[in-house]
Amino acid sequence: MNNEATIGHAHVHRDDVGSKMGMWLFLFTELLLFGGMFILYASYRFMYPENFKVAAMHLDTLIGSVNTILLLTSSLTVALSIVALQRKQKMFSVFLLMFTVAAGGAFLVNKFFEWSTKIGHGIYPKGPEMANLSDGEVVFYGLYYVMTGLHALHVIVGLIFIGFMIVFILKGKQTFDNHQKLENAGLYWHLVDIIWIFLFPLFYLIH
């Protein structure tokens, strides 16, 4: 996943576009990974429209909205950090990335409380509440846990990437004229954002 192709002892010319292309292709696989889940979501929603509405009512729109704003803002700061680096404002760039990490962290904390509440109510696979729910609601919560869980996993991975970028910038490995890694980490983070942009209305808003 690197732009420097080192073979044996010789260096191939650095290929930023190639590196970016690799990242995009990787994003497509992520997209289709979630794509499979979206197909399932669409299908089950089609089969159980009423149950899905009922179940969606029980998710907290406020937490969802706050989380949406958090991710959007963290996406903004990643984009800005690249501009900052290009303008040689190294510390500002690091600061922006740290903001991203903070926002991403806050997103996860929210998610944690959201899940805990649900689990507290006995709504989890094999949980005591599940037996009282209709088939459609069981499937809804199944999808809810898997899709938001998978998404949260991606948030964590994205945060680790960005953490590395902070280190790289500080160590001078990502600089104003050589920052493809930062760009790639940014692309990944934006993808995580985009997936949430779809998860949010599908789970929290469709009443």
Partner 1 sequence: MDYVSYLDYKGKHKGLLGWILSTDHKRIAILYLVSLVSFFLIAMTIGVLMRLEMLTPGKTIVDPQTYNALFTLHGVIMIFLFIIPGIPVVFGNFFLPIMLGAKDVAFPRLNLLSWYLYIGGAFLVVISLFVGGGPIDTGWTFYVPYSLRTQSNVTLAVFAAFVIGFSSILTGLNFIVTIHRMRCPGMTWFKMPLFVWGLYSTSWIQLLATPVLGITLILIMLERTFGIGIFDPALGGDPLLYQHLFWIYSHPAVYIMVLPAMGLVSEIIPTFSKKDIFGYGPIAMSSLAIAFIGYLVWGHHMFSTGISDTSRAIFSFLTFIVAIPSGVKIFNWVATMYKGSIETRAPFMFVVAFIVIFSIGGLTGLVLGSLNTDIHLTDTYFVVAHFHYVMFGGMGLLFFGGLHYWFPKMFGKMYNERAAKWGLLLFVIGFNTLYFPMFIMGYLGMPRRYYDYLPEYQIYHVISTVGSWILVTGILILVINLIKGLLSKEKYLDPNPWGGTTLEWKVPTPPELENFQEIPTVEHGPYYRDNLIKPENSH
Partner 2 sequence: MSENTHIQESSAAELQHPGYGLYILVWAGLVGLTTITVALAGFNLAGLTVVTALAIAIVKSLLVTNYFMHVRTDSPIFKVFIFVCIAIFLTMIVLTFFDLTYRFPLK
Between 119 and 197, CB nearer to partner 2: 197
Q: Residue 166 or residue 195: which is nearer to partner 2 going by CB?
A: 195
* Residue 16 engages partner 2 in binding (rule: CB under 8 A): yes
CB of 21 to partner 1, least distance (A): 5
Give CA–CA dist 68/74, Å, rounded. 10
Residue 206, helix vs strand vs coil: coil
Nearest to 151 by CA among 29, 34, 32, 23: 34
Q: Is 76 exposed, middle or buried (0-12, 13-18, 19+ CB in 10 A)?
A: middle
92 touches partner 1 (CB under 8 A): no
**Helix ranges, the chain (H):** 16-47, 49-57, 61-86, 90-120, 135-170, 180-200
- Residue among 40 and 108 whose Cβ is closer to partner 1: 40
**Interface residue with partner 2, options 26, 38, 99, 161 (CB under 8 A):** 38
* CB nearer partner 2, residue 65 or residue 116: 65
Sequence-ordered list of residues with C-beta below 8 angstroms from that of 174, at least 6 positions apart, any chain: 85, 165, 168, 181, 182
Choose, by CB under 8 A, the member of 54, 80, 138, 194 that binds partner 1.
Answer: 138
Residue from 60, 61, 110, 156 in contact with partner 2 (CB under 8 A): 61
Query: Shortest distance, CB of residue 158 to partner 1, whole angstroms?
Result: 17
Strand, coil or helix: 58? coil
Give the residue, chosen from 109, 153, 160, 206, that forms a contact with partner 2 under the rule CB under 8 A.
206
CA distance 154 to 148: 10
| Contacting residues toward partner 1, per CB under 8 A | 1-2, 5-8, 10, 12, 15, 17-18, 21-22, 25-26, 28-37, 39-40, 43-44, 47-48, 125-126, 134-136, 138-139, 142-143, 145-146
